[in-house]
A = this chain, B = another copy of it.
């Protein structure tokens, strides 16, 4: 029986110490976060570490070395993902955990990387405290998730693991600065022709720890959430066209002003998502007005709609309401409108059995938690194609992410890693 020595506030809240109580050393957690943050450091707390950059090479080397130091077998796959394996006593499908090691430009220290480190820390603790598991357990640092160098990389690391990168993709995925991802791979010694070798069919379960990137846990006063679904996301690109005219000489009552139509549509969609209630969200993030001069009624307004809901039926209703509003406003105002769907990810429910397991072990570990859907996309969505998945969220200060201001406390991170380790223990031992 292993009893935790660290008496943090969550331990003190535990009623009974479970036989599976797992000790996570906060000093080691802090040390690994700080050390890996050297690779691509921007200012005090920022990270700019794009896939296949020299900063990325440094971080993957660090991760591989840390896995080796923890007594894990290290494997770098054909796409540049780094795996650390704690070999099990059986040939059952493995239990994997991890997240991506690349960042926004700049992002913070936690988005992605924390999940890769958490898996490593959990495996180290399990190996030290429980020895050899029944099922092999793996920690992974996926090479790419942020699309911060290649806008259409589309989960390059985890997608390779599921075997869904086509032979043409390496030449079709183009960086903001123009180079192909194939060239970027060759520049770090990887052969794009070998990407299919990264495919795995022997992973049975995948659990990803990630920062929440939102304020829900902070507002609830909880350190950790169990994620029961990743939301469905649709991106529309719309354009509303009217008649460009002189701002002074055209009476309001006979204008065909696309900005007036856009403003009504944007207000209406935002109100619709608000009225449907959590976790429905709709965001108008991008607006381009033409010709965009103060004294001219615009000719057209281009815009994007990002609309999300984890429930397939509510999601369909949300989209139908948005599309209906666009039709109605354009028709009433004598404007032309059209749109195309640029991205359409279905909701990705977590595996109910893993969710139950994580809920149970969180309670056993004395970690207060809630269950919620993820509003952001994650590598787990990809991994769901080959494995049963679930996620663990750690509280984000002020809900911030994709910024150097991103922060999660060591106390919260230790709580999250303890739930992760206990979950992996429950699945693999």
Q: Is A286 an interface residue (CB 8 A)?
A: yes
Which of B277, B292, B375 is within 8 Å of A248, CB to CB? B375
Q: Which residues of B are found within 8 Å of A274, using beta-carbon distances?
A: 252-253
How many Å lie between the Cα of A219 and that of B249 in the bound state? Answer: 13
- Contact residues, A273-314 vs B (CB, 8 A): 273-274, 277-289, 292-298, 301, 304, 306, 308
Q: Which residues of B are found within 8 Å of A245, using beta-carbon distances?
A: 214, 399-400
Q: Is A233 an interface residue (CB 8 A)?
A: yes
Please indicate which of the listed interface residues A235, A245, A288, A374 has the most CB atoms of chain B within 10 Å of its own CB: A245
The closest CB in chain B to the CB of A268 belongs to B263
How many Å lie between the Cα of A247 and that of B235 in the bound state? Answer: 11
Per-position contact with B for A169-186: 1 when CB-CB < 8 Å, else 0? 000000000000000000
Which of B259, B260, B277, B294 is within 8 Å of A235, CB to CB? B294
Q: Is A251 an interface residue (CB 8 A)?
A: yes
Do residues B286 and A254 form an inter-chain contact, with CB atoms below 8 A?
Answer: no
How many Å lie between the Cα of A308 and that of B252 in the bound state? Answer: 11
Q: Is A401 an interface residue (CB 8 A)?
A: yes
The closest CB in chain B to the CB of A264 belongs to B267
- Contact residues, A77-111 vs B (CB, 8 A): none
Known: A214-B246, A246-B375, A287-B292. A251 touches B279 (CB 8 A): yes
Q: Is A257 an interface residue (CB 8 A)?
A: yes
How distant is A254 from chain B, measured CB to nearest CB, in Å? Answer: 6
Do residues B270 and A263 form an inter-chain contact, with CB atoms below 8 A?
Answer: yes
How distant is A266 from chain B, measured CB to nearest CB, in Å? Answer: 4
Q: Known pairs A235-B295, A263-B266, A286-B294. 18 more at Cβ < 8 A?
A: A214-B245, A214-B246, A215-B249, A233-B248, A245-B399, A245-B400, A248-B375, A249-B401, A250-B281, A251-B279, A251-B281, A252-B274, A259-B266, A259-B285, A263-B284, A283-B296, A286-B289, A294-B304
**19 A-B pairs with C-beta separation under 8 A:** A212-B249, A214-B251, A215-B249, A215-B250, A215-B251, A235-B295, A237-B294, A247-B283, A247-B285, A248-B306, A248-B308, A248-B374, A249-B376, A253-B274, A259-B266, A283-B297, A286-B292, A286-B293, A286-B294
Residues of chain A whose beta carbon lies under 8 Å from any beta carbon of chain B: 212-216, 219, 231, 233, 235, 237, 244-254, 257, 259-260, 262-264, 266-267, 270, 273-274, 277-289, 292-298, 301, 304, 306, 308, 342, 374-377, 399-403
